[in-house]
Chains A and B, each alone.
Chain A
Amino acid sequence: MAEQSTRPRSFQEILLRLQTYWAGQGCAVLQPYDMEVGAGTFHPATTLRSLGPVAWSAAYVQPSRRPTDGRYGENPNRLQHYYQYQVLIKPSPPDLQSLYLGSLPAIGIDMDLHDIRFVEDDWESPTLGAWGLGWEVWCDGMEVSQFTYFQQVGGHDCHPVSGELTYGLERLAMYVLGVDHVMDMPYNDPAAPIPLRYGDVFRQTEQEYSRWNFDVADTAMLFDHFEEAEAECRAILAAPETDPKTGKRIVMAHPAYDQCIKASHIFNLLDARGVISVTERQAYIGRVRALAKACADAFVKTEAGGWAA
């Protein structure tokens, strides 16, 4: 059925092919967001742009950090820093499943030999006040992507609904390249003058961050940072809509949302340090969610959020 392509030879080739494929489908290829986030969903290109009526279509790779998943570079599958490939199209097109399936042969999966399945998996992000229905996509029993129709984000019903696709790049690439340990995966072309493996690029940083995340990060300072980010987010949103200097209506949804992302990541770090009890955990998640909701409320009052003066 779908056109067959040659097998990719490196991690970066898979990433580049995804970029090319989704660019070919008309997505705006964006760059990673320049802040620490736990998943590609946190990029404002997804969280904020899925709100309101304005059509949107974007694809990007997003470095993601999950401090608790650090394994000092030793676990074959787990990393505290990894990449997600994210696609968000609003409104979700009727052929989104086919578009997604088209990306698999593009990265070298022979659709005639593999067993691709859509298995129920509803998505919920308590920190973003968001949920959606969809599937995890299985290739031969392995989860290769997450496929979600957003129903609510930041406490707002999504009208129209965005379709979101998330590929866990390392896992997918390891499968396509036939590699058992992530650190052994070719990062660039193995025939390049200076061939680099994933481990050559990231083993050392995995060690460094694992140590810092688990044992060194200054928790008192982090608690302070959390409070500061929360306060700044609130302060930004409390500013009057009309800028006294320019006299223009400028709702600062994005700067406020940056602070929300910051608070969320600091919470993840504190969690990895083991200083947040089970009860407190819920309370912190609730505080981040409150920020996300406030930012969503602000975004729908901006032009990109569909605000008409």
Chain B
Amino acid sequence: MPDLLIELFSEEIPARMQVRAAADLRARMTDALVEAGLTYAGAAAFSTPRRLALTVQGLLAESPTTHEERKGPRTDAPEKAIEGFLRGAGVAREDLEVRSEKKGDVYYARITRPGRPAEAIIAEALEDVIRYFPWPKSMRWGAGSLRWVRPLHSILCILTDDAGEARVVPLEIDGISAGDETEGHRFMAPGRVRVTSFDHYRATLAKRHVILDAEERADMIWQDATNQAFGSGLELVEDRGLLAEVAGLVEWPVVLMGGIEAEFLDLPPEVLQTSMKEHQKFFSVRNPKTGRIEKFVTVANRETADGGATILAGNQKVLSARLSDAKFFWENDLRIAETGGQAWLDALADVTFHNKLGSQAERIERIAALAREIAPKVGTDPDLAEQAARWAKADLSSEMVYEFPELQGLMGRYYAEAAGMPAEVAAAAQEHYSPLGPSDTVPSAPVSVAVALADKLDLLTGFWAIDEKPTGSKDPFALRRAALGVIRLVVENDLRAPMAYALPFGFEAHGLAMSIFDPRLFFKSYDGLKIVAALDFMPVDKETCDQLTAHGVDHKDLRGAHLSYANLLVFFHDRLKVYLKDQAIRHDVIDACIAMDGNDDLALLVKRATALSDFLKTDDGENLLQGFKRANNLLTQAEEKDGVEYSYGADVKFAETDEERALFAALDAQEPVIRAALEAEDFAAAMSGMAALRAPIDAFFEAVQINTDAQVVRRNRLNLLSRIRRICLEAADLTRVEG
């Protein structure tokens, strides 16, 4: 069975796109081959800066002939129907077969599709793959209309048979004819060369200074770089992303190590590392004893007669120019930091954060106010939290962060330290951006937590206030990440601060309707929220109006503000579902907990959901849920039928069976236990109290017929069921749990 080799040779493909492109080439090409009936034994794809390559081994030489039997109309069907069937099946009438069936004689067609040679299938598939290749960005060149990531120069496409004979698959796309030639290293081995198989191709390239496999190049770089660093008693700073990128910039990696001039060694290591990585794609080499970055590793794309001396000297020169800049920024920044950094804060007044949300300085005012409010909730001093919040964004004005935005926060920390600010303020400058994603560390230092929460809540309430919410895949201000950040800060630090407490301050800071009254008066006890919530559902009655007026509130403003608040809370709940789903908690379990009071207390919500989820995974939990559902269904039906609510008055004296009496006893024993546990927010204990109800409930349903003719007994049993329903619903809204 033949092997297929494809190489798409182009001008330099951006490093970040190569690996994905190779995978896409393999997936799309093999999918198309299989779709057309060409199965294969194995396939692998490769990329270098100038080529994508694909090898498919053990390919069928032609697609198999296929047969299909198709049932047609009855022989006495109208002529038109029979003609239509013939057309659809592509057969002549004399080829039809007649079979006697129950309903009469029926036509059958046997359709044969002859196999096609692999060449034809490959040519079609490859043209399609090339024309519709999913590059993140593609371009045209010259006078042509073909799109590729950069100009495509040649296509190698050969089939190699078992005897090792290779033949070109005929194919032409926009004037490029497929052939059997490739090209070696641009400088070390220019010129075209013919290849006959994948192994020959790979070996030919290696001889011509091209390592085909990106992983192999990365390994070579890593090995050589660590060895060179080790040889100088140093260690390479690991950077997988950079390694992958650099492997995509070279076909023939040559590792060169050079020193950093002494005058730059006192720069913060992160500054050295970032400058070298961003501008020059250098690896950092660290002294393990001091933690200082002392050398760099650059990866050239070739060998030279002088052993890379000219290349290294050139790179070193560029590095010095870059680090001179960094040093200049650092020294200028330190001068400002040491005076307290007021100039930076002043400058933020001229920086627009968002045209509807004002300047960075205004944003800082809001964050500072919010951080003050949050501080007591996280157990820290409001003054310290406010100071930290006011400093947190100062480094955005610094020259270093202007040059390297990714150093924001970190520079704030260094500059706070230089200014002699409290350690908590310095730490908060760095940590308040966290967590940046699901795997980023969550700060735990109280001041950092206060500023981090204030920062994110201001962002969320602000964009909600101006109605710039994330839609579909569009989330330009990373609000989902901010909401997840709030959730993780609250949950992982076990903060017991209902959103109802914090969010209004955010909205207030944004000058929403709420700012016309003091939210502390209104929202602290939830009474305010309840009034507002009522506005959603009923026309405003005089009493409500009076209450609002007493607070100096125009209810129309309030309603808008409340809708923003409710909407944001729903957004939090959606993010929470995503967060909990990652922890294997089902969405219906979360819904059951969101339906409970206090659902804006995220930590409480998570505790409840976790306990319920664990409980439902046990045998007791699963059976109790069934018992609850059965009780609830029976009750609902009876209540609908009777037009009354069975909620009170079950009495053991009307019990007729032992099972009924046992259930009374179990409820009497467990209800106080469950309630006390819920009161104490010990959901695990509440659930185990519920577990104790499972056996009596099961036994009760097993032995007792609810709907008896004796009305007193029936009512008593329904009221007993309602005790089950009530106690279960106090733990979570189990009606929302599926199953």
- A interface residue numbers (CB < 8 A to B): 1, 76-77, 91-94, 97, 110-120, 122, 132-135, 139-142, 149, 151, 158-161, 163, 175, 180, 277-279
Contacts and interface: CB of A to CB of B under 8 A. Distances in A.
A244 B190 CA distance: 60
Given A91-B143, A161-B142, A175 B314 contact: yes
B558 to A, nearest CB: 32
Nearest to B191: A1
Contacts, number: 106
Nearest to B190: A1
B141 interface: yes
A77 B279 CA distance: 16
A112 B187 CA distance: 8
A113 B153 contact: no
Given A113-B310, A119-B249, A149 B298 contact: no
Given A140-B315, A141-B280, A116 B187 contact: yes
Interface string B238-279: 000000000001100000000000000000000000000000
Interface stretch (B216-224, B347-355, B433-441, B625-633): B347-355
A141 B298 contact: yes
27 contacts: A91-B141, A97-B11, A113-B306, A114-B310, A114-B311, A114-B314, A115-B314, A117-B301, A118-B49, A119-B15, A120-B12, A120-B14, A122-B137, A133-B137, A133-B139, A139-B314, A141-B311, A141-B318, A142-B314, A142-B317, A149-B139, A149-B151, A160-B144, A161-B141, A161-B143, A175-B314, A278-B351
Given A113-B306, A117-B301, A119-B249, A151 B139 contact: yes
A94 B306 CA distance: 33
A229 B140 CA distance: 35
B321 interface: yes
Contacts of B351: 278
Give the top 7 A-B pairs by smallest Cβ distance, nearest first.
A140-B314, A120-B14, A118-B12, A160-B143, A141-B315, A91-B143, A115-B300
Nearest to B139: A133
Contacts of B11: 97, 118
B525 interface: no
A116 B280 CA distance: 13
A132 B150 CA distance: 11
A116 B252 CA distance: 13
Contact of B302 (A77, A115, A133): A115
A110 B317 CA distance: 17
Contact of B249 (A117, A134, A151, A163): A117
Contacts of A114: 304, 310-311, 314
Contacts of B324: 76
Contact of A76 (B137, B139, B321): B321
Nearest to B254: A115
A111 B12 contact: no
A141 B187 CA distance: 16
Contact of B150 (A1, A113, A133, A279): A133
A105 B301 CA distance: 18
B16 interface: yes
Nearest to B138: A133
A96 to B, nearest CB: 8
Interface in B102-153: 137, 139-144, 149-151, 153
Contacts of A134: 150
B259 to A, nearest CB: 15
Contacts of A161: 139-143
Contact of B16 (A94, A120, A159, A278): A120
A135 B310 CA distance: 23
Interface string B283-323: 00000000000000010111011100011011101110100
Given A140-B310, A279-B352, A135 B12 contact: yes
A112 B308 CA distance: 10
How many B residues touch the partner, as a band?
35 or more
A93 B144 CA distance: 11
Contacts of B144: 160
Nearest to A148: B139
Contacts of B350: 277-278
Given A94-B153, A115-B311, A116-B187, A140 B142 contact: no
Given A110-B310, A112-B304, 14 more contacts: A91-B141, A94-B151, A111-B187, A114-B311, A119-B15, A133-B149, A133-B150, A135-B12, A141-B318, A141-B319, A151-B139, A159-B140, A163-B141, A278-B351
A19 B306 CA distance: 31
Contacts of A141: 280, 298, 311, 314-315, 318-319
Contacts of A92: 141-142, 151
Contacts of A279: 352, 355
A279 to B, nearest CB: 5
Contact of B142 (A94, A112, A115): A94
Nearest to B350: A277
A158 B300 CA distance: 35
Contacts of A139: 314
A133 B139 CA distance: 7
Contacts of A135: 12
B149 to A, nearest CB: 8
Most chain A CB inside 10 Å of its own CB: which residue of B139, B141, B324, B352: B141
Nearest to B175: A94
A120 B139 CA distance: 13
B309 to A, nearest CB: 8
Nearest to A178: B317
Nearest to A78: B325
A77 B153 CA distance: 37
A151 B140 contact: yes
B317 to A, nearest CB: 8
B450 to A, nearest CB: 29
A52 to B, nearest CB: 13
Given A91-B142, A140-B314, A141-B314, A277 B352 contact: yes
Contacts of A149: 139-141, 150-151
B142 A160 contact: yes
Contacts of B15: 119-120
Contacts of B315: 140-142
Given A113-B305, A149-B139, A151-B140, A278 B352 contact: yes
B263 to A, nearest CB: 14
A50 to B, nearest CB: 13
Contacts of B149: 133
A117 B185 CA distance: 12
B730 to A, nearest CB: 54
Contacts of B280: 141
A175 B294 CA distance: 25
A233 to B, nearest CB: 27
B319 to A, nearest CB: 8
Interface centre among A111, A117, A134 (most CB of B within 10 A): A117
A133 B138 CA distance: 8
A242 B142 CA distance: 34
A284 to B, nearest CB: 14
Contacts of B317: 142, 175, 180
Nearest to B355: A279
A115 B301 contact: yes
Nearest to A132: B139
Contacts of B153: 94
A151 B147 CA distance: 11
Contacts of B352: 277-279
A251 B643 CA distance: 86
A278 B397 CA distance: 13
B161 to A, nearest CB: 33
Contacts of A277: 350, 352
Contacts of A112: 187, 304-305
